Structure 1
Amino acid sequence: MELQDLLLTPFYLAIFYGIAYGVRGKVTNAFTRRYFIPALTLKFVGAIALGVIYQFYYGGGDTFNYTKHSTIIYNAFGESPTAAIRMIFSHGEFDALTSRYTSQMPWYTSTTEFFVVRLAAIAALLSFNTYSVIALFFAGLSFSGMWAMYLTFVRAYPLLYKRLAIATFFLPSVFFWGSGVMKDSICIGALGWVFYGFYHAAVLKRNMLFSATVGLLGAYVIMTVKVYILLSFMPPALLWIFIENNRRIKSAALRAILKPFFLLLGVGAGYLGATNLTADDDRFAVDKIGERTKINQEYLYGLTKDQGSAYNIGAIDGSLGSIVTVAPQAIVVALFRPFLFEARNPVMLLSALEATMFIYLTVMMFYRTGVLKSFRQIASTPLVTFCFLFAIVFAIGVGTNSGNFGTLVRYKIPLMPFYLAALYIMQFQANSAKKLGRFASTEKRASMVARAA
């Protein structure tokens, strides 16, 4: 960060807030309105804070590597606008016109990283190549998807607008790691649009064209940057559709007969979708998941095993069977660790505090409601079923791949809003059931007194 950041950032912030206040009335109601600007502000704070932490604490990192690449494209515009435009729309192919620039970019042939570079380059052109302003652009894009995610949750459970705002916007790890010039910011924003599009187009069947369009655009971004997020999303989402269709059958007997069929159909469709989605990408091919997981886990574990932030969930030999064996440990690691005593730095401490909150809410939910009733409640509420399945599938994926808490805290942010939202919904349903029970008991006693009189 330089003097240019200090001079231009306030000016661009004024522009962004002007736009935000202009659109707020169209995307909020009397209840959600109060969270729009504070949530956006947290995203901006997270974007700037991430840059500061990487510069002064880590001494560099991916966020600056992205902007170094985008700076090359930005500078190319002053020399050869045609070459710069070609780089933005390129797909890693050799081009004689751009080769003197792309030879300086190690990530030019990496589809996932260069997608972020493209976005950063476009933002650089609009901000005089100012890092902090580029970060604000990323925060704004991410916020748009997060707000769509929040509106989707609130559409399903409007009375929970306060707690759902906490789940979506106010988890420190989510607004810190999901706001700056990083793949994580783009992906969690895109996931919000996928969730919004899927719910409105496939479940509610409203605003079909708009919902399908934004959902598919979000899916394209995730497929380009982190396809494994979409792999974790698809099976629970397709299962959700079949459960919803099963619920709409009026005959209770027919519902009971068809439910196993719908469940199998949902799981099968999810598997086929995941297989076809990765057919042309060996890195995420379903039949090579075990092998790739073993390589990633060993590499990331080795990077930090001497720093106290590595974790070991058991041996992974490259087979799917070994992943199934360590899956319970992976779920615990992703959802409930690091424990407070495992925190080795301020970033890990924040993650440990969040994990402690997850432990407390989970234990209290199952304790107050009962284990069997809790599982029945999960199975009987399609949105909660989806949220838990997505969180668990994603937890297994990142828990087995990360190898250290420093990487895990970034990788796991897509699951966090869904898991916490599911806990809040279950808590709301349990409290509502108790209130109805007390009301019914009161009515029954009043009826008995009336008859006795």
Structure 2
Amino acid sequence: MNLLYGLANVLLLSGLIYLIWRQPNPAFLKMFYWPALILKLWAGLLVGWLYQHYLSGGDTFVYQKQADILSAYALQEPKSYLHFILTGEYPSEYLYGIMKYRGYSNSFFMVLLLHFLNFITHNHYYINCLYFSLFSFWGCWQLTKAITSIFPVTQMAAVLAFLFFPSVVFWSSGVLKESILVGSSALLLAGVLQFIYLPGSKWGALLKIAVAAYFCFKIRFYFAVAYFPLLASFALLQLISRKKHFAESKKLFLYAGAILVLGIVASFLHEAITPAYFFKEMIKSYDISRATTSREAFIDLPDLQPTYQSLIYYAPKAISSAIFRPFLGEINTPEYGLAGLENLLIFVIAVLALFTFRQNKPAIPLTLVLSLLIYSLVVAALIGFSTANLGSVSRYKIAFMPFLLYIWLQTGVNQKIMLPIENWLIRQFKA
């Protein structure tokens, strides 16, 4: 990379960071901005370094190499390149043959994003890591801002869940699909909350919703098919409730009906969303993952079949494994030991929330609690059913983990624990 590109990217990244900082931010959040941002950017660089030196490159470097090929093609054959970008049709056998992910829509979307960034970064992988990490941070920051403004009693839970929880920060950084997924799913919820509760920012909220929904769908359409109807049902009920007051039981009935109707509509968003095809592909993914897993510990679902009966039977094991495994000591390596420690913490938080929820119920609307819980459980099931490798599970589960942690951390005894932490941090910041 020459000096001009380096300087341009330093200026551009600094400008973007400054714009996020200069937007109106709740006073409580100001103390967290720079620590959370720096942690996120360093995590992105660390992810790249670990993949390069210890994990044989992984998919992140394959994305970069494919993006480099496409960027070079754009300079060599600009007319053919534009035709390809605008139509999706391959103009040459060379390009068709060399594009590794042409049959994988979300992986190819990663290649497209990276190749556009290459024009700015001059194909520099680690600078691309910074841009991906910044996008993820921006989405999480927007959501934390919205929560702090609308549900201030849960602000500490949001900060910990979306900005500082170790695995969430690490695995949603760098050139990974999860960076785009977590950033866009958080941004989508932020836009929905803004649209409902902050009337002065309707157009900005709609823009966030549109951008975030597009990225969510392109990067993990099968997660989006679960996420979109749930958020839409929550939003619809909240908007209707402003004009008509419903009993809680009737509100839940209408919420369930909205999920059913919108879920059916969402099933038409992609041709692959048919039960027979989806179940078959999910089981196929599990079998491949199981066959390539050399570790002693894995998600063992013997005789898993693409039927409703089989999936229902194995659902508890798939969901609990996706949330809480690997257990501490289950695999005797340093990285799994760290994952085990964090999962032990997650387990303690979950148990405290479950057994003491009557003391302090979540301070956000019940329909939002249900939406985030259902989304988390559905995605946990999908991950457990399709992935046997616990290392992959540790990464994939951050698609839902911050939302689940946000609910648990504001429930029961956990809410009482959050308050002194929050007060202590405020005193430190003022000092």
Normalising by structure 2, report the TM-score.
Answer: 0.86
> What is aligned with 2:335?
347
Q: What does 1:349-368 align with in structure 2 at a 5 Å threshold?
A: 349-368=337-356
Matches of 2:216 and 2:168, distance apart in 1: 17
Q: Note closer, same or farther for the CA distance 1:401–1:9 as it changes in structure 2 (3 Å cut).
A: farther
Quote the offset at 1:343 in angstroms.
3.3
Q: What does 1:66-145 align with in structure 2 at a 5 Å threshold?
A: 66-91=63-88, 93-96=89-92, 99-145=93-139
Matches of 2:130 and 2:374, distance apart in 1: 33
> What is aligned with 2:265?
273
Asked whether the equivalents of residues 322 and 380 of structure 2 are also in contact (C-alpha less than 8 Å), the reply is yes
Matches of 1:198 and 1:157, distance apart in 2: 14
Residue type of the alignment partner of 2:230: P
> What is aligned with 2:295?
307
Q: Note closer, same or farther for the CA distance 1:351–1:276 as it changes in structure 2 (3 Å cut).
A: same
Asked whether the equivalents of residues 5 and 131 of structure 1 are also in contact (C-alpha less than 8 Å), the reply is no
Q: Note closer, same or farther for the CA distance 1:121–1:261 as it changes in structure 2 (3 Å cut).
A: same
Residue type of the alignment partner of 1:114: F
Matched, 1:382 2:370: no
Q: What does 1:21-36 align with in structure 2 at a 5 Å threshold?
A: 21-36=18-33
Deviations 1:136-171 (A, max 9, x none): 111122222121222232233224433321100212
Q: Note closer, same or farther for the CA distance 1:204–1:343 as it changes in structure 2 (3 Å cut).
A: farther
Matches of 1:369 and 1:211, distance apart in 2: 32
Asked whether the equivalents of residues 128 and 175 of structure 2 are also in contact (C-alpha less than 8 Å), the reply is yes
Quote the offset at 1:328 in angstroms.
1.2
Matches of 2:352 and 2:3, distance apart in 1: 46
Matched, 1:61 2:89: no
Matches of 2:401 and 2:135, distance apart in 1: 19
> What is aligned with 2:323?
335
Asked whether the equivalents of residues 234 and 255 of structure 2 are also in contact (C-alpha less than 8 Å), the reply is no
> What is aligned with 1:418?
403
Q: Note closer, same or farther for the CA distance 1:379–1:326 as it changes in structure 2 (3 Å cut).
A: farther
Residue type of the alignment partner of 1:255: A
Q: Note closer, same or farther for the CA distance 1:21–1:285 as it changes in structure 2 (3 Å cut).
A: same
Asked whether the equivalents of residues 362 and 407 of structure 2 are also in contact (C-alpha less than 8 Å), the reply is no
Asked whether the equivalents of residues 203 and 241 of structure 1 are also in contact (C-alpha less than 8 Å), the reply is no
Matches of 1:345 and 1:270, distance apart in 2: 44
Structure of higher RCO (CA pairs closer than 8 Å, 6+ residues apart): 2
Matches of 2:317 and 2:252, distance apart in 1: 29
Matches of 1:346 and 1:269, distance apart in 2: 47
Quote the offset at 1:68 in angstroms.
0.6
Quote the offset at 1:361 in angstroms.
1.0
Q: Percent identity?
A: 24
Q: Give secondary structure in 2 for the equivalent of 1:276.
A: coil
> What is aligned with 2:226?
232
Asked whether the equivalents of residues 243 and 263 of structure 1 are also in contact (C-alpha less than 8 Å), the reply is yes
Please tell me the root mean square deviation across aligned C-alpha atoms, in Å.
Answer: 3.1
Deviates more, 1:415-424 or 1:380-389: 380-389
Residue type of the alignment partner of 2:267: T
Quote the offset at 1:105 in angstroms.
1.8
Asked whether the equivalents of residues 40 and 137 of structure 2 are also in contact (C-alpha less than 8 Å), the reply is yes
Q: What does 1:390-429 align with in structure 2 at a 5 Å threshold?
A: 390-427=375-412
Matches of 1:404 and 1:183, distance apart in 2: 18
> What is aligned with 1:162?
156
Q: Select 1:49's aligned residue among 43, 46, 51.
A: 46
Q: Give secondary structure in 1 for the equivalent of 2:399.
A: coil
Q: Give secondary structure in 1 for the equivalent of 2:356.
A: helix
Deviations 1:249-291 (A, max 9, x none): 776xx5256335313312312421332223x2x2x32443322
Normalising by structure 1, report the TM-score.
Answer: 0.83
Matched, 1:290 2:279: yes
Q: Note closer, same or farther for the CA distance 1:386–1:58 as it changes in structure 2 (3 Å cut).
A: same
The structure that has the greater radius of gyration is 1
Asked whether the equivalents of residues 41 and 173 of structure 2 are also in contact (C-alpha less than 8 Å), the reply is yes
Residue type of the alignment partner of 1:52: W
> What is aligned with 1:171?
165
Deviates more, 1:108-117 or 1:420-429: 420-429
Asked whether the equivalents of residues 356 and 411 of structure 2 are also in contact (C-alpha less than 8 Å), the reply is no
Matches of 1:31 and 1:292, distance apart in 2: 46
Matched, 1:258 2:243: no
Q: Give secondary structure in 1 for the equivalent of 2:28.
A: coil
Matches of 1:213 and 1:149, distance apart in 2: 14
Deviations 1:105-145 (A, max 9, x none): 22234322121111111111111211111111111222221
Asked whether the equivalents of residues 246 and 262 of structure 1 are also in contact (C-alpha less than 8 Å), the reply is no
Deviations 1:360-405 (A, max 9, x none): 01112233345xx78x769963332222222112111111111111
Q: Select 1:19's aligned residue among 2, 16, 20.
A: 16
Matches of 1:225 and 1:60, distance apart in 2: 21
